[in-house]
Amino acid sequence: MKNTMLLRAVGDVGDDLIERAAPKARAAQIKKKIWLRWAIPVAACLAITLIVTLPLMNDNNDSFNLSRSTGVKVEYLENPPTVSIHASLVYLSEKELFATHWMGIEIVAFAGEVIKVDNITISYGNEHRVTDYKAIAHIRVSEVFRGNIQEGSVLTVLLPGPVGSSDIYVSDTGISSLMTVGTTGIFMPFAYNEESGVETDGSFLSYLDLADYGFGDGVRWAFLQKGDEVVFARHYAYESISNATTMEEIRQYVISMLER
């Protein structure tokens, strides 16, 4: 569990796909620690480095009901700044990735299609300095593999980084950053509870104020169909199916792992 691996270890993600998530420019680096209220292991960032140029953003905070959160401001991201965020992940085996729970948090599994994505920015503390960039994906469920989920329902899933932004780069989001509208795949997010969130600068953001589900990181919890290509962390997390070329192969693999 002490081993750490970085996003660049993700296999078989084409250069054209990775380039979409790469930043155009980077500014000076400022180190900042973010402490999680609950121990979400796969997002156990040992250090997060932010490179931030603050944008001018519309005040859409009224769109979010932040009743569980304190000292935070959430806005839709209209004008992306130049940002680079780096972190390292705790290693998990394939068996651990398919656990039903982690630290009391349920992990569900379903197939579906992304029908909407909103990039957001989150500010913490009295000065509301921007410290985090994420996205909220709306995914319509087509098949349920695990969890109390209805087929045809639309789930809100918090992504650990923005989608489709060429100015914002977040490490360990090489898969989630590709979840544009129309993307289909198999998703394994965490079902948030009242303790799920992040605490920093004396503020607390409850993830339930943003979405009902979320990924621990943006690399290991989804298998995507992008055109003719199946994209997932094949050499980084799923070595046993690293040669898979179709979503049906992935589907059968997921079912077999969940039945173990």
122 contacts 73 by C-beta, under 8 angstroms:
yes
What whole-number distance in Å separates Cα of residue 158 and Cα of residue 117?
10
Q: What is the pLDDT of residue 113?
A: 98
Report the predicted TM-score, pTM, of the whole model to 2 decimal places: 0.75
What whole-number distance in Å separates Cα of residue 8 and Cα of residue 89?
12
Block residue for tokens 């519309």: 58
160 contacts 89 by C-beta, under 8 angstroms:
no
DSSP codes, the chain: ---EE-GGG--S--HHHHHHHS-S-----EEE--EESS--GGG--S-EEEE--PPP----GGGS--TT-BSEEEEE-SS---EEEE--EE---HHHHT-SEETTEEE-EEEEEEEEEEEEEEEETTTTEEEEEEEEEEEEEEEEEESS--TT-EEEEEESS-SS-SSEEETT-TTGGG--TT-EEEE--EE--TT-EEEETTEEEEGGGT-SEE-SSSSSSEEEEETTEEES-TTTT-GGGTT--SHHHHHHHHHHHHH-
pLDDT in tens, 121-169: 999 887 767 678 899 999 999 999 999 999 999 999 999 999 987 777 7
Q: How many beta carbons lie within 10 A of that of residue 180, not counting itself?
A: 14
Q: What is the pLDDT of residue 236?
A: 87
Q: What is the pLDDT of residue 1?
A: 39
pLDDT in tens, 194-240: 999 998 878 999 999 999 999 989 999 999 999 999 999 998 899 99
Q: What is the pLDDT of residue 256?
A: 96
pLDDT in tens, 17-76: 434 444 333 333 333 333 333 334 434 333 333 333 333 333 344 468 899 999 999 999
173 contacts 187 by C-beta, under 8 angstroms:
no
Q: What is the pLDDT of residue 18?
A: 38
Number of domains in the chain: 1
- 176 pLDDT above the threshold of 70: yes
Share of the chain above pLDDT 70, in %: 74
Domain residues for 145?
A: 4-259
Q: What is the pLDDT of residue 82?
A: 78
φ/ψ region of 194 (left if φ > 0, alpha if ψ in -120 to 50, else beta) reads alpha
